Chain A
Amino acid sequence: MDIEKILKESGASQRDLVPLLHKIQAAVGHIPRESIAAIAKQLRLSESEVFGVLSFNKSFTLEPRGKIRVMVCRGTACHVRGGGKVVEEMEKKFGTPAGRSSAGKELSLDETGCLGCCAMGPVVVVNGTHYSQVSPENVDSILEKAKASD
């Protein structure tokens, strides 16, 4: 679904801002910087207002995401069970720090807030699929599975 279509189908007032941003991010993987002007125009807000809400909200990113999006849970339970080490290992493997742009890259890495599966931690989600009890040792096999299923 391209952004123009999403904009056309959106409401035209301020209350539609967050749902609109969610739709764009779901379709494109991130919020393209060039779309901010069109969003502002559609909702009759200033670009600064749109950006203010966008930059406040932890769900949204301006950085392109890879085709395979890897998210590591950093909630308390997962943290206690070694989530930090999983992130470190992945950063090493990807060669990119979590949260950065992966334009052109296949994989992108993000940290995420608690996913509510604390018994299963550390939890990693790859393109919507949950993996439980992830450790630095089995990071490789998870990534292989992810690439295979793509």
Chain B
Amino acid sequence: MKKLSHPHHLAEWKRIILEERPAYDKVIAVSSGTCGRARGSLQIFEAFKQEIERRRLSLTVGIEATGCHGLCEMEPNIVISPEGFFYKKLDVKDIPAIVERTILKNKVIPSLVYEDPATGRKHPRQNEIPFYQKQTRLLTENNFRINPERIEDYIALDGYQALAKALFDMTSESVIAEVKASGLRGRGGAGLLTGKKWESCREARGHPKYIICDADEGDPGSSMSRGLLEANPHSLIEGMIIGAYAIGASEGFMCVGTNYPLAVEHITLALEQARNHGLLGSAIFGSEFHFDIHVVQVAGAFVSGDETSLIAALEGKKAFPRQQPPFPAQQGLWGKPTDIHHVETWANLPIILNKGADWFTEIGTDKSPGTKIVTLGGRINNTSLAEVPLGTRLRKIIFDIGGGIKDKRALKAVQTGGPRGGFIPAEKMDVPLDYETLSQSGSILGCGGIIVMDKDTCMVDAARYSLSVSAEESCGKCAPCRVGTRQMLEILDRISHGQGQASDIVRLEDLAAVMKAASLCDLGQTAPNPVLTTLRYFKDEYDAHIREKRCPALVCQSLAPARKKAKNSRKQETGREAI
């Protein structure tokens, strides 16, 4: 394996890759992220391989296992290039027909085509499916085209050119200036200007400097990090190296969890490949810049999202957050200047450098340029990973992209940002997806989880569940959060069991106030959001539980009459497993 020692080598390598690519007539991309595999995508892949071999089509038909295509609801799914046919919810028995009719004869199989739940129309091509059409897939558009275990696929799509540009055509300062001009804000939830953070870290005194990628997705209902790590790991690596160059860091840490073994596999392999090609490690691209990245498992080790807690966990200490200032940019890992960003933030960097800050600011809003990957879940038709410009209204995300509510039900509420996000009622779906706007509505953007609820969701129970997650996540250092979450949970438990009292509402508000004002870190400060928003927008449900001992949504067991089994309309599939 030859190490790249000059940017020209990169262009040359890309040329060779494209030249040496087999001249397939058709390529089948099988969506094979963890979600796909849970539904049997690897068996689909195998079945295709066998069928292609059986029909002696190996020289003209390519088959790839890619990362997640985003439309998880339709797993297992495939995209057939170059036409872009999209087939959904495949079963092994569908394979022969697909090869026979679509691969060989370009004929579409209607039963496998995506059908829009709202209009009933069928869309055989991926780029015509409203789910995809209405998105702006800057970070995720290449998911169909990349085998995450092959660096060559990334190179073929102009991978690492942004890095070459940064190293050879720009100074560290001009890289920072460009990122500042782009207005990129941290995608982990805090929304601080990335460029400013970099500048602050660069100017800080201390050596060596460190870069950290927070890839430990703790919040339930969020899988955007998993999506990126599994599908396009090199985009993160490139972003991190650019950041290291800008700041002057020599060591980076990719902090992963234990819940995504496939993601860890892919990123570890990608790092090795990058090193082997001289894109990571000492003398990157033959320059004098040295930087390497270590993968560290930190799962369950720190308080989600808090930078100082993550730093303590990396240091092997008890992961209590500490007061800021001083900020990690000045005093972080082992007391040295450290720059921490979420996976999605890093993934934006190559695009910004390649296409320019001006181009980037055209997307999104003035204050928040760019896109955000969101995880759509709950009672939505298209459970998925979608990418939209910041500022997109929730209505569009849920109905146009998400396909609306399952079973044509009415929307009741939406929880954004994970278990510490607030619930936004159906009337407020014009709220744009953005940092400030969601905060003003009592919620948070968080890392982009969006859970959709219909009338079968009891808001009291939903608030209770969210709070139980926060109570578990709480590190226990400060009393407002440690005890506050517990006391709030106790009240909500009682209410959902028909033992609520009139004074409970005031108690909840008091607790929320103390937690917001006095908690040490973001977790305690935002944990009350689910409760506060449900109190604000769904007070009637609390009243019903407390005064009438009744659960309007028929969820709270002690209060609801027994539901007939027939009412459960979900399909009872035998659990399908992957190999």
Direct contact of A and B (CB under 8 A): yes
Interface residues, chain A, with chain B CB atoms under 8 Å away: 13-19, 22, 43, 45, 49, 52-53, 56-60, 74-77, 79-81, 112-120, 123-124, 128-135, 137-138, 141-142, 145
B25, CB-defined interface residue at 8 Å: no
Shortest CB-to-CB span from A136 to chain B, Å, is 10
- Whether B299 and A59, one on each chain, are in contact in the complex, defined by CB atoms closer than 8 angstroms, is yes
- Whether A113 and B220, one on each chain, are in contact in the complex, defined by CB atoms closer than 8 angstroms, is yes
> Inside 8 A of B318's CB, which chain A residues have their CB?
49, 52-53, 56
Which of A76, A133, A135 makes the CB contact (< 8 A) with B221?
A: A76
- Whether B73 and A18, one on each chain, are in contact in the complex, defined by CB atoms closer than 8 angstroms, is no
Chain B at the A interface: SS class: loop
B490, CB-defined interface residue at 8 Å: no
- Whether B575 and A117, one on each chain, are in contact in the complex, defined by CB atoms closer than 8 angstroms, is no
The stretch of B136-144, B194-202, B309-317, B539-547 that contacts the partner chain: B309-317
**CA of A146 to CA of B466, assembled, Å:** 32
- Whether B575 and A129, one on each chain, are in contact in the complex, defined by CB atoms closer than 8 angstroms, is no
The total of interchain contacts (Cβ-Cβ below 8 angstroms) comes to 152
- Whether A141 and B575, one on each chain, are in contact in the complex, defined by CB atoms closer than 8 angstroms, is yes
> Inside 8 A of B220's CB, which chain A residues have their CB?
74-77, 79, 113-114
B577, CB-defined interface residue at 8 Å: yes
Which of A53, A114, A131, A137 gathers most chain B CB within 10 Å?
A114
**CA of A40 to CA of B220, assembled, Å:** 33
Contact flags B273-306 to A (C-beta < 8 A → 1, else 0) = 0000000000000000000000011111100000
- Whether B574 and A57, one on each chain, are in contact in the complex, defined by CB atoms closer than 8 angstroms, is no
- Whether A115 and B296, one on each chain, are in contact in the complex, defined by CB atoms closer than 8 angstroms, is no
Which of B35, B72, B315 makes the CB contact (< 8 A) with A15?
A: B315
Which of A14, A80, A134 makes the CB contact (< 8 A) with B316?
A: A14
- Whether A141 and B221, one on each chain, are in contact in the complex, defined by CB atoms closer than 8 angstroms, is no
B572, CB-defined interface residue at 8 Å: yes
Give the size range of B's interface with the partner: 35 or more
- Whether B574 and A119, one on each chain, are in contact in the complex, defined by CB atoms closer than 8 angstroms, is no
Shortest CB-to-CB span from B167 to chain A, Å, is 29
> Inside 8 A of B62's CB, which chain A residues have their CB?
none
> Inside 8 A of A52's CB, which chain B residues have their CB?
318
> Inside 8 A of A13's CB, which chain B residues have their CB?
316
- Whether A57 and B300, one on each chain, are in contact in the complex, defined by CB atoms closer than 8 angstroms, is yes
- Whether A129 and B316, one on each chain, are in contact in the complex, defined by CB atoms closer than 8 angstroms, is no
**CA of A60 to CA of B344, assembled, Å:** 28
B145, CB-defined interface residue at 8 Å: no
Contact flags B402-441 to A (C-beta < 8 A → 1, else 0) = 0000000000000000010000000000000000000000
B260, CB-defined interface residue at 8 Å: yes
- Whether A58 and B300, one on each chain, are in contact in the complex, defined by CB atoms closer than 8 angstroms, is yes
Which of B259, B316, B475, B578 makes the CB contact (< 8 A) with A18?
A: B316
- Whether B573 and A16, one on each chain, are in contact in the complex, defined by CB atoms closer than 8 angstroms, is no
- Whether A131 and B72, one on each chain, are in contact in the complex, defined by CB atoms closer than 8 angstroms, is no
- Whether A131 and B259, one on each chain, are in contact in the complex, defined by CB atoms closer than 8 angstroms, is no
> Inside 8 A of A80's CB, which chain B residues have their CB?
378-379, 451, 457
Question: Can you list 18 A-B contacts (CB < 8 A)?
Answer: A13-B316, A52-B318, A56-B301, A56-B319, A58-B472, A59-B300, A80-B378, A80-B457, A113-B220, A115-B34, A118-B35, A118-B72, A118-B375, A119-B377, A119-B383, A120-B35, A131-B575, A132-B39
Residue on A nearest B258 in the bound complex, by CB:
A59
- Whether B223 and A132, one on each chain, are in contact in the complex, defined by CB atoms closer than 8 angstroms, is no
**CA of A77 to CA of B220, assembled, Å:** 8
Closest 4 CB pairs of A and B: A75-B220, A114-B220, A116-B223, A119-B383
Task: Known pairs A14-B315, A117-B35, A133-B571; list 9 more (Cβ under 8 Å).
Answer: A56-B319, A59-B258, A59-B299, A76-B419, A76-B469, A115-B34, A116-B223, A119-B72, A130-B37
